[in-house]
Amino acid sequence: MKASRHARIKEIIDSQAVETQEELAEALRKKGIEVTQATVSRDIKELMLIKVPTGGGRYRYAFPPEQNLVFSQSRLERSFQDSVVAMDHSLNIIVIRTVPGLAQAVAYAVDSTRWPEIIGTVGGDDTIFVVVKPPEATGEVLARFRALM
């Protein structure tokens, strides 16, 4: 539930200027997610949202800039297209098979996405375990990975 809500918050923040917690709560309600102000406040803290100026003395919520952003969306797509050969899952673990020697690089790219549903990855030589929470989000994460290919 929380991971899904966090994903929706990211979509909202990325697509529109949200100035207040109440605006964010209302945007979530429009997407069918009932929340309290206290829940939105905790989500903002957990997601480490910041306020950035938009001009005219106004501010909006945003994600903090990455200090060393190595993997853009297009780079993530290229790493999947160039390296991943197969994917499967069981409960809340996604197994990604790569070309030998590239699993750790792809695992780093996955970690860099900071998708709230992904707890972490373990990358070997040609295999990556991606741990997803909650288990119900596994199908959605797997679909997003497949879309990268």
What domains appear along the chain, each with residue ranges and CATH number? 2-62 (1.10.10.10), 73-148 (3.30.1360.40)
Under the banding of pLDDT at 50, 70 and 90, the label for residue 115 is confident
Q: Going by C-beta distance under 8 Å and a sequence separation of 6 or more, which residues neighbour residue 127? A: 95, 96, 97, 98, 103
User: Above 60 in pLDDT, residue 54?
Assistant: yes
Q: What is the DSSP letter of 42?
A: H
pTM, whole model, 2 decimals?
A: 0.55
**What does the alpha-carbon distance between residue 80 and residue 112 come to, in Å, rounded to a whole number?**
13
Mean pLDDT of the chain: 89
Under the banding of pLDDT at 50, 70 and 90, the label for residue 4 is confident
Across the range 95-112, mean pLDDT stands at: 92
pLDDT of residue 16: 92
Task: Give φ, ψ of 101 to 5 degrees.
Answer: 90, -5
pLDDT of residue 72: 64
